[in-house]
Amino acid sequence: MEKSNKENKDMDDGERVEWSELPKELLPKIGKNLDTRIDIIRFRSVCNTWRSSIAHFLSYSPRFPLIFPTPYPASTPIRTPAYLCQSTIYRLQSLNPSSTSSNKAWLIKVEQDSNSGGKFRLFDPISNRRTRYPIPNKTLNLFDSRVVELTKAYTLRYQFRAGSSTSTNEIDQVLSVFDTSIFGVNKVVMFPDSPWTNVNASAAFVIFNDGKLGFAKSGDEELILVDRESFDYDDIIVYKGQFYVINSLGIVSWIDHSSLKLVQFLPPLCGLGSQKHLVESCGALYVVDRYLDRERRVENDAFYMGGADCAQSIGFKVYSIRDKVAGKGQIGFWVSNVQEGNVSPLTISKETQNPFIDSKSECLLL
């Protein structure tokens, strides 16, 4: 790139300006458009001028886990607050691949816990189970890697103090697990959430109890039901700074989060699949309709065990929404991994022998 710059400079009679002439006062304006921590760390590592142009992050930006109202205040066995946890999925690739390590890219899912001194926890990006970091010294330096933040994911959990494990009581034994996700919470999204965000300005929506849509802000006492009449919401996503929700009929609406009104965005999709997902890929929004081998919904709320995990996917259909980018080509998909095929996410994670999942298995050819 540098070379072609110089060549152009020689070729042009007019004088080309160089980046070095970039006025310092524009650096914060540029830097503030970066909204992932890793990008900000990198920006601040370029040189001293850049480093001093933007802050590391703001003191009032969200730090996870955040205290959050539980969706089931009455039925919770023990009065304990819920926590909103954030995990991030990265694509990782070595910058200087040695002969021993391949040049493969890995998907990793990590969660940083601000309560434990900012330590990271590693999760299997597909099964979502906690995994162990495969390298003995327990650190990973991203300076030597090509790191791309793909997406953030949120979960609601109960957290318990490790101290309770001293009790012999059976319930306490179960609770000595550091944290457990809350049954029946299908999806949590939060926006805005960047190092430049004030945590009080962020809104979070929760789909729980197999289709209820709840809303709260960090620190709120309770979760508000957005829609008191229908409880058939399948998925919610933040797409270009806006919350979009889809119900089981395939009706996509956007949510005006100041008034909590749903505005229907498209005519119903009439997909015949069992479960709808909203997926963003390459700047476009898609609906993935998942076909399952049996009934997804579980009638008995009290013993809800995450119905979607029990039923197996047998196929997918993908619909694009407002397809302005369009075209064919490789699109890295998150939820889906098949071309209307019949591979379930679980199969892929079993096939992969590596501790991280090869990102290639995530590609979907449209």
Partner 1 sequence: MSNQSESPNPTSSSNKITLKTSDNEVFEVEEAVAMKFCTVKQYFDDENNNNVTSGTSTTLIPLPNVESHPLAILITYCKKHLEIKANNADNKKEMEIDMEHYEREFLKNVMPQELTELILAANYLNFKEALDFFCRAVASAIQNKSVEYVRKFFGLESDFKPGEEEKLREEFAWSFEGVDED
Any contact of residue 149 with partner 1 (CB under 8 A)?
Answer: yes
Separation of alpha carbons 113 and 271, rounded Å: 39
Separation of alpha carbons 348 and 357, rounded Å: 9
Dihedral pair phi/psi, residue 143, rounded to 5°: -60, -35
Residues 26-45 that bind partner 1 (CB under 8 A): 26, 29-31, 33-34, 36, 39, 41-45
**Nearest CA-CA partner of 104 in 297, 353, 328, 364:** 353
Query: Rounded to 5 degrees, what angle do the CA atoms 181, 186, 189 make?
Result: 90
Of 41 and 308, which has the nearer Cβ to partner 1?
41
Of 139 and 166, which has the nearer Cβ to partner 1?
139
Residues in the chain: 366
Q: Tell me how far, at minimum, the Cβ of 142 lies from partner 1, in Å.
A: 4
**Binder among 16, 261, 294, 350 for partner 1 (CB under 8 A):** 16
Of 48 and 98, which has the nearer Cβ to partner 1?
48
Only segment of 61-69, 137-145, 213-221, 336-344 that touches partner 1 (CB under 8 A): 137-145
Q: Tell me how far, at minimum, the Cβ of 118 lies from partner 1, in Å.
A: 8
Long-range contacts, stretch 309-315, CB < 8 angstroms, 24+ apart: 311/274, 312/344, 313/342, 313/344, 313/345, 314/342, 315/273, 315/290, 315/291, 315/340, 315/341, 315/342
Decide if 95 contacts 144 (C-beta within 8 A). yes
Q: Tell me how far, at minimum, the Cβ of 320 lies from partner 1, in Å.
A: 15
Of 24 and 360, which has the nearer Cβ to partner 1?
24
Residues 94-133 that bind partner 1 (CB under 8 A): 95, 110, 112-113, 116, 119-122, 130-133
Q: Tell me how far, at minimum, the Cβ of 13 lies from partner 1, in Å.
A: 9
Of 22 and 363, which has the nearer Cβ to partner 1?
22
Residues 313-342 that bind partner 1 (CB under 8 A): 324
Separation of alpha carbons 192 and 156, rounded Å: 17
Any contact of residue 11 with partner 1 (CB under 8 A)?
Answer: no
Any contact of residue 55 with partner 1 (CB under 8 A)?
Answer: no
Residue type, 113: D
**Nearest CA-CA partner of 94 in 85, 84, 86, 104:** 104
User: CA Rg, the chain, in Å?
Assistant: 23
Of 254 and 319, which has the nearer Cβ to partner 1?
254
Q: Tell me how far, at minimum, the Cβ of 87 lies from partner 1, in Å.
A: 13
Decide if 8 contacts 16 (C-beta within 8 A). yes
How far is CA 185 from each of CA 119, 212, 275, 326, rounded to the nearest angstrom? Answer: 25, 9, 15, 33
Any contact of residue 362 with partner 1 (CB under 8 A)?
Answer: no
Any contact of residue 264 with partner 1 (CB under 8 A)?
Answer: no
Of 39 and 293, which has the nearer Cβ to partner 1?
39
Footprint on this chain of partner 1 (rule: CB under 8 A): 1-2, 5, 8, 14, 16-23, 26, 29-31, 33-34, 36, 39, 41-48, 50, 95, 110, 112-113, 116, 119-122, 130-133, 138-143, 146-149, 240, 324
